[in-house]
A and B are shown apart, each in its own frame.
Chain A
Amino acid sequence: MIKSWLLTRDHKKIAWLYLGTITCFFAIGGLAATLMRLELLTPTEWLVTSDTYNRLFTLHGIIMVWFFLIPSIPNFFGNYLIPLMIGADDVLFPRLNLISWYVFVFGGAVTFYALLRGGVDTGWTFYPPYSTHFSRSFVALAASGVLISGFSSIFTGINFIVTIHYKRAEGMTWGRLPLFVWTHYATSLVMLLATPILAAVLVMICTERIFNIGFFDTTLGGDPILFQHLFWFYSHPAVYIMILPGMGVVSEIVATFCRKPIFGYWFVVWSSLAIALVGFLVWGHHMFVSGQSPYASLIFSFLSMAVAVPSAIKVFNWLATLYKGAISFEAPMLYGLGFIGLFTIGGLTGVFVAALGFDVHVHDTYFVVAHFHYIMVGGAVMAYMGALHLWWPKMTGRMYPENQARLAAVVLFLGFNVTFFPQFILGILGNPRRYHTYPPEFAWLHQISTLGAVLLAVGYIYPLYYLSRSFFKGEKAGKNPWQAGGLEWTTSSPPPEKNFEEPVEVVAGPYALHARKGISP
Chain B
Amino acid sequence: MISSRSLHLTFAACLLLLLLTTAVAFVDLGAWGLVVNLTISGMKALLIGMIFMELKGDKGLSFFVVVLSFLWPLVLFGFTFADYLSR
Contact = CB atoms under 8 A, between A and B. Distances in A.
Contact between A and B in the complex (any CB pair below 8 Å) = yes
Interface string A279-294: 0110110000000111
A281 B79 contact: yes
B86 interface: yes
B86 A295 contact: yes
Contacts, number: 38
Nearest to B72: A193
A62 to B, nearest CB: 24
Interface in B29-87: 61, 68-69, 72, 75-76, 79-80, 82-84, 86-87
A373 to B, nearest CB: 27
A280 B87 contact: no
A281 B75 contact: yes
Given A281-B79, A284-B79, A296 B86 contact: yes
Interface string A217-238: 0000000011001100100000
Main secondary structure of the interface of A (DSSP, over half): helix
A165 B61 contact: yes
A293 B87 contact: yes
Contacts of A322: none
Contacts of A193: 68-69, 72
Given A197-B76, A280-B72, A280-B75, A296 B82 contact: yes
B76 to A, nearest CB: 5
Contacts of B82: 293, 295-296, 299
Contacts of A280: 72, 75
Interface residues of B, number: 13
Interface string A465-500: 000000000000000000000000000000000000
A225 B83 contact: yes
B76 A233 contact: yes
Contacts of A229: 76, 79-80, 83
Nearest to B68: A193
Contacts of A197: 76
B83 A292 contact: yes
Interface in A268-313: 280-281, 283-284, 292-296, 299-300
Nearest to B75: A280
Interface in A298-348: 299-300
A409 B17 CA distance: 65
Task: Name, among A293, A296, A299, the residue most crowded by chain B CB atoms within 10 Å (CB to CB).
Answer: A296
B79 A299 contact: yes
A229 B81 CA distance: 10
B83 to A, nearest CB: 4
Contacts of B79: 229, 281, 283-284, 296, 299-300
Interface in A178-215: 193, 197
A65 B74 CA distance: 27
Given A193-B69, A280-B72, A281-B75, A293 B86 contact: yes
A292 B82 CA distance: 10
A284 B80 CA distance: 9
Given A233-B80, A281-B75, A295-B82, 11 more contacts: A193-B72, A225-B83, A229-B76, A229-B83, A233-B76, A280-B72, A283-B79, A284-B83, A292-B83, A296-B86, A299-B79
24 contacts: A193-B69, A197-B76, A226-B80, A229-B76, A229-B80, A229-B83, A230-B76, A233-B80, A281-B75, A283-B79, A284-B79, A284-B83, A293-B82, A293-B83, A293-B84, A293-B86, A293-B87, A294-B86, A295-B82, A296-B79, A296-B82, A296-B83, A299-B79, A299-B82
> What 10 A-B pairs are tightest by C-beta distance, nearest first?
A296-B83, A293-B87, A295-B86, A293-B86, A229-B80, A296-B82, A193-B72, A293-B83, A292-B83, A233-B76
